[in-house]
A and B are shown apart, each in its own frame.
Chain A
């Protein structure tokens, strides 16, 4: 059990995600100090009638422990402890001869509890537990005493004290071991079916791969078509086809795959259950359908930030966002333009949004190159004079209607003279963020094509105004240290991707967290980037944060791999170290439900907390926070931990 690893660890989210590091053992020990007269009996009561026979194996770990702790003396001491039937030392307990010694001793000395005093349970507990099982001993009757990391390594200069501490640590483990009870691990079948929410490139890639790995998929898309945001786009960076043509084969493969059921115009209404057995309701045009799935992949994408009131957006014609620009190009409605200014980081990087949107730099460059490369064609004789955006994306069409009203109130702009010569393009940026090889190559190409890059800082933001029928960008030249002016036929604003407004709703339904940036928050920023802390639910694409198509596809495939793991196994075996609620004591306050990072405890219909064994990680958050002390952690019960704590304190007295 490694609760630290499972905990969301976004730097900006740390406060939100409390408790940061659930520590299993600390909280229960933090009881009021033990009164000496309240002392535990020397020989604790046994959980069953069977005679206790504890075996203790003390490891030298070469010189790692043996060099600083007097191991033979420790063994002699251990032999005097209550219930210890056998004790010995090993040069390396983990080497094959050490393991054989454990196996043999269990049989020969009829041991019913085993303690290894050596290194760390983190790496070695499964090994020793396995040996116990081989010898017919339930693995929950094994206990670890860490006398390396917690003793010899930190007391290399105090050998006598190290030896004394090793004795105390083992003594406390003996006290706990006496109270251990065998546990059965629960095995839960996994329904071999995935639910994929969102039919953009990420969801499509995920669905196809899960299907190709042999499992059924239900793909739920709220719009009437598949393809997601990419449908709005014109060209693609790195591509030579239109965006729609590029993703067409992917959509066709998904539609053709026999394992995939596509639900268009649909939403996920409710989700209950846990990994392996989620009960979901999919609503399509008012009618609902129940689907039971084993895993869920969230691929609900992102939307473009609307720069209302920034840089003349919503006020002047021909101030458009990147998406609108792509739609204009795609639908052949681009007006006659020659001078184009792109403004980067509009609303991002510490302005309205705290983050960098990762892809808008390369997208601006892609569109700048598109203009230079297709200038003659897109500027055809009869180019439309005014921005008309007619698109299927509702957010954009409604925004446009509003804008047109504003413009007509100010009077129509007179058509300007037709442009001559090549285009002139300026990209106002704070930092050109074309990372990696694929994006940087575009930047290099743009500079070859004489696209101008002008840096600005947040102290001197460019200003967009209109003089006559021309847009003007007023900016501060950082090198020349002067105010400058640039005439533009069109100003394109690079705004960040933002989480869609209904993400919050999905977050509640699935009990998955959202970070401060509004995007879904993964289980661990470094090593579990596409998992949620809740088992069986995964996230990919721009639902997780800004990403280009390549990255969204990779993440989509990645979640397909992650989701296939429990389904390929067919079952999950939950560790028996679980929370257990005493329904007599529980008052149904719900504190535990609010504190469980894994969504593994909830109030049942009769108002008391119930644990979803398959989802519980035994992290102890619920037990530590329950005001009624109605929750015990199996194998870390209050009794066991108190016995352990008491015997350490006795040693200290």
Chain B
């Protein structure tokens, strides 16, 4: 029997679930696939409806989590096998080699400065570049660097090694190997979050074709002071900053043809936020939001939209919209309709609220755990009314966006809920043997 708990996914949901359990004295293994915990929330600029700086409120939680004596944070790791049952799961975790000794690296990033190789930065949605030895983002936890083996000159042609030569702490270790560890845990919480759908296939929006069409997450990175443009909005075509922004809602979502017949729950609000933030950056920016239904249903959300309209001059137009381009200046042209009449309007940047989709890993993890997914590939609750956190497999619980589209506070509340269920299980199993 084990009373330890495994949490898969180190986004806000996974972090909160881990903290809740650890604070009660339970031992937690938090397995995160990427080099840092934080998840999507770490990428956001501000958060609706308070416009709190996202990383500023998240960072202390990340630090608490990593520093917690009862939490073992395994980053750059993946669950590769699960055996057993509630109370006695055996979980195989692959700890990928980061080629840097976590215990020696202090995160000074001197090596990063010297590394000659650059690749697109996934944390910035590919907008900027990062080095091949890299800190995923300024506030990453743990504060250690990782070598991206695929692109490293040392691994490709056994040349360079600049980082190793430079590191005074001798933290770089090209001989590190992937490692497999086996954990004994009593219950498991799945919190692997969501991905962002690439809207290129929906050609009517012009993404990938017209340079000045962006996704919402690209925009979040762009307006973030520590993002790829240092907080400046820049058109892809000419680097100029926009004065007239259009936001298009439900891009790919609520669309059965594309297999996303659901609503993402957060994009009406994040576009509202993004339009407000544009005005905060430059008070001559005008924003228009094209929406199907304006879903402002959370605490303080409708009031937030009213504020966007009244205090930030955000214009809302109820219409489907598609994008064309003015070839002379690369300005996107939004085509929409008012009372059945087609209209066109030229903007200098378009931001698409693309569907947020389940992570591809969901399929793998569901199989490993023997739990079903919904028709949209979210994890399926055992009972969607009274036991939302439970799965059909005893001892396996769900939290956050991987279960159902939701915003940060809901993910936090659900994480606590999943923590409660996990603790109930390990206690019950501990008693009954």
Interface residues of A, Cβ cutoff 8 Å to B? 2, 5, 9-12, 61-64, 91-92, 94-95, 122-123, 126-127, 201, 205, 209, 212-214, 236, 238-239, 246-247, 249-250, 349-350, 354-358, 431-441, 444, 455, 478-481, 515, 517, 519, 524-530, 544-546, 549-551, 553-562, 564-565, 568-569
Distance of A95 Cα from B103 Cα, bound (Å): 9
Q: What is the size category of the interface that chain B forms with chain A?
A: 35 or more
Given contacts A355-B299, A437-B263, A561-B417, 14 further A-B contacts (CB under 8 A): A11-B303, A62-B106, A205-B386, A246-B386, A247-B386, A354-B303, A356-B296, A356-B297, A437-B374, A440-B254, A517-B299, A527-B412, A529-B413, A549-B386
B415 to chain A, nearest CB (A): 8
Nearest Cβ distance between residue B387 and chain A, in whole angstroms? 8
Partner of B300, one of A435, A437, A525: A525
User: Which residues of chain A come closer than 8 Å to B339, judged between CB atoms?
Assistant: 478-481
Query: In residues 256-296 of chain B, which contact A (Cβ within 8 Å)?
Result: 256, 261-263, 265, 293-296
Chain A proximity of B101: nearest CB distance (Å): 12
Among A440, A544, A545, contact of B262 (Cβ-Cβ < 8 Å): A440
A554 touches B413 (CB 8 A): yes
Given contacts A247-B386, A437-B378, A481-B339, contact A63 B306 (CB under 8 A): no
Contact B20–A565 (Cβ < 8 Å): yes
Q: In the complex the two chains form, is B404's CB within 8 Å of A355's CB? A: no
Interface-located stretch among B49-57, B151-159, B229-237: B49-57
Find B263's partner among A434, A549, A568 (CB 8 Å cutoff).
A434
With A525-B409, A527-B412 already in contact, the answer to whether A62 and B265 are too (CB < 8 A) is no
Q: How many A-B residue pairs have CB under 8 A?
A: 216
Q: Roughly how many angstroms separate A551 CA and B406 CA in the complex, as a whole number? A: 11
Q: Which of B108, B256, B413, B423 is A555 in contact with, Cβ under 8 Å?
A: B413
State the B residues within 8 Å of A (CB): 12, 20, 23-25, 47, 49-52, 57-61, 63, 67, 106-110, 168-169, 254, 256, 261-263, 265, 293-304, 306-307, 318, 339-340, 374, 376, 378, 384-389, 404-406, 408-410, 412-421, 423-424, 427-428
Question: What chain A residues lie within 8 Å of B410 (beta carbons)?
Answer: 529, 551, 554
Of A205, A517, A559, A562, the most chain B CB neighbours within 10 A belong to A562
A527 in contact with B61 given A358-B297, A555-B413, A555-B417 (CB within 8 Å): yes
A437 cross-chain contacts in B, Cβ below 8 A: 262-263, 374, 376, 378, 404-405
- Chain B, residue nearest A545 (CB): B299
Report the separation of the CA atoms of residues A213 and B20 in the bound assembly, to the nearest whole angstrom: 13
Q: How far is the CA of A527 from the CA of B254 in the complex (A)?
A: 28
For A433, the chain B residues whose CB sits under 8 A away are 293, 295-297
> B416 — which chain A residues lie within 8 A by C-beta?
530, 557-559, 561-562
From the candidates A432, A480, A569, name the one contacting B24 in the complex (CB within 8 A).
A569
Contact B52 A526 (CB under 8 A): yes
- Decide: A526 near B302, CB < 8 A? Known: A246-B385, A441-B261: no
- A355/B63 contact (C-beta < 8 A), A209-B424, A435-B265, A558-B420 known: no
* Cβ contacts under 8 Å, A441 to chain B: 261-262
Closest to A13 in B: B300
- Report yes or no: A550 in contact with B385, Cβ–Cβ below 8 A: yes
- Collect the chain B residues with CB atoms within 8 Å of residue A205's CB: 386
Cβ-closest 6 pairs across A and B: A62-B108, A557-B417, A558-B416, A561-B420, A529-B409, A437-B262
* B24→A440 contact, CB < 8 A: no
Selected A-B contacts with CB under 8 Å, 10 pairs: A11-B49, A238-B385, A246-B386, A350-B302, A354-B302, A354-B306, A356-B302, A438-B404, A526-B57, A529-B409
Whether B414 contacts A238 by the Cβ 8 Å rule is: no
For B420, the chain A residues whose CB sits under 8 A away are 209, 213, 557-558, 560-561, 564
**A10 and B413 in contact (CB under 8 A), knowing A247-B386, A526-B50?**
no
* Residue among A249, A356, A481, A562 making CB contact with B20, cutoff 8 Å: A562
Are the C-beta atoms of B427 and A214 separated by less than 8 Å? yes
- A524, A549, A558, A559: which has the most chain B beta carbons within 10 Å? A558
Q: Given known contacts A530-B413, A558-B417, is B384 in contact with A238 (CB within 8 Å)?
A: yes
From known contacts A126-B67, A519-B299, A525-B299, infer whether A455 and B318 are also in contact, taking CB-CB under 8 Å: yes
- Flag if B108 contacts A550 (CB, 8 Å): no
| B408 lies within 8 A of A526 (CB) | yes
Closest to A209 in B: B420
Residues of B near A527 (CB, < 8 A) are 12, 57-58, 61, 408-409, 412
**Complex: A2 Cα to B59 Cα, angstroms:** 13
Alpha-carbon separation in the docked complex, A151 to B257 (Å): 55
- Kindly provide the distance from the CB of B6 to the nearest chain A CB, expressed in whole angstroms: 17
A11 & B256 in contact (Cβ 8 Å cutoff) = no
Q: Given the complex, which residues of B lie within 8 Å of A544, measured CB to CB?
A: 299
Are B263 and A355 in touch, CB under 8 angstroms? no
* Residues from chain A with Cβ under 8 Å of B52 in the complex: 9, 526
Residue of A nearest to B291 (CB): A431
- A122 interface neighbour in B47, B60, B108, Cβ under 8 Å: B60
| Whole-angstrom distance between the Cβ of A257 and the nearest chain B Cβ | 12
Query: Known contacts A250-B386, A526-B47: does B428 contact A12 (CB below 8 Å)?
Result: no
Provide the residues of chain A in CB contact with B301, threshold 8 Å. Answer: 355-356
| Contact A557 to B421, CB < 8 A, known contacts A5-B60, A350-B306, A436-B406 | yes
Q: How far apart sit A553 and B413, CA to CA, in the bound complex (Å)?
A: 10
From A5, A92, A123, A529, give the contact of B63 (CB < 8 A): A123
> Given that A92-B108, A436-B262, A437-B405 are known contacts, is A9 also in contact with B385, CB under 8 Å in the complex?
no
- For B263, list chain A residues within 8 Å (CB): 434-437, 439-440
B379 CB → nearest A CB, Å? 11
- In the complex, chain B residues whose CB is within 8 Å of the CB of A212: 424, 427-428
A95, A436, A562, A568: most-surrounded residue (chain B CB, <10 A): A436
CB pair B50–A11 under 8 Å, yes or no, is yes
Contact residues in B for A455 (Cβ distance below 8 Å):
318
Q: Is the CB of B57 within 8 A of A5?
A: yes
Chain B residues lying within 8 Å of A434, measured Cβ to Cβ, are 263
For A480, list chain B residues within 8 Å (CB). 339
Question: Who on chain B is nearest to A544 by CB?
Answer: B299
Residues from chain B with Cβ under 8 Å of A9 in the complex: 50, 52
Which residue of B has the minimal Cβ distance to A92?
A: B106
CB distance B24 to A564 under 8 Å? yes
Q: Which residues of B are found within 8 Å of A213, using beta-carbon distances?
A: 420, 423-424, 427
Contacts of B265 in A (CB 8 A): 435-436
Cα distance, A442 to B322, chains bound together (Å): 26
Q: Which of A95, A247, A524, A525 has the most CB of B within 10 A?
A: A525
- Bound CA span A205–B386, Å: 9
CB closest chain-B residue, reference A524: B57
How far is A561 from B388 in the complex, measured between Cα atoms in Å? Answer: 15
Q: A9-B50, A554-B413, A558-B417 are in contact. Are A438 and B384 (CB under 8 A)?
A: yes
Question: Contact check: which of B299, B306, B405 meets A436 at CB < 8 Å?
Answer: B405
Q: How far is the CA of A480 from the CA of B341 in the complex (A)?
A: 11
Q: Would you call B300 and A558 a contact (CB within 8 A)?
A: no
Q: Which residues of A contact B58 (CB under 8 A)?
A: 527
Q: A479-B339, A527-B409, A550-B385 are known contacts. Are A355 and B302 too (CB-CB below 8 A)?
A: yes
Give the distance in Å from the alpha carbon of A378 to the alpha carbon of B405 in the complex: 35
Q: Which residue of B lies closest to A14 (CB)?
A: B50
A347 CB to closest chain B CB, in angstroms?
13
Chain A CB count within 10 A is highest, among B299, B307, B406, B428, for B299
CB atoms of B412 and A529 under 8 A apart: yes
* C-alpha gap A434/B297 in the complex (Å): 9
Residues of A within 8 A of B51 (CB): 11
Check B60 against A123 for contact (C-beta < 8 Å).
yes
Assembly CA distance A560 to B254 (angstroms): 35
- Chain A residues closer than 8 Å to B386, beta-carbon distance: 201, 205, 246-247, 249-250, 549, 553
Inter-subunit contact A549/B385 (CB<8 Å)? yes
- List of A residues within 8 angstroms of B256 by Cβ: 444
- A553-B294 CB under 8 A given contacts A436-B406, A527-B61, A558-B413: no
List of B residues within 8 angstroms of A569 by Cβ: 23-25
Inter-chain contact A554/B388, CB cutoff 8 Å: yes
